[in-house]
Amino acid sequence: MPTPKQAPKKKPSVATKKLLESAQETLQSLPAEQLKVAAEFLNFLNERGSDEATAELLRIPGIMEDLAEAEREFASGGGTPWREVRQDV
């Protein structure tokens, strides 16, 4: 199951495979200190995408109020089990 920061994996294109191979070769040739910087930068890019997605969700009018209501409903035993909502899962 993907984590919130990861999109579901799909088969990469040929161009993407070539980019990944090139990046991997470059990373393997870096000295430890430069590898550390590269890893930190990649983590930054990954987190920024997550932050942008979060910001997009927060721009939805009333989302926080809806979330608070859903949490109260769940805490009081309300809600519908997901298997009843999605029979095909």
Contact 46, 5 (CB under 8 A): yes
pLDDT in tens, the chain (89 residues): 445 555 566 788 999 999 999 999 999 999 999 999 999 988 888 888 888 888 888 899 999 999 899 889 888 888 877 778 876 66
**Token couple for 13:** 């294109």
**79: which DSSP letter?**
S
CA–CA distances in Å: residue 82 to residues 21, 36, 51, 85, 87: 40, 42, 27, 5, 8
Distance CA 86, CA 74 (A): 18
Which residue type sits at 43?
N
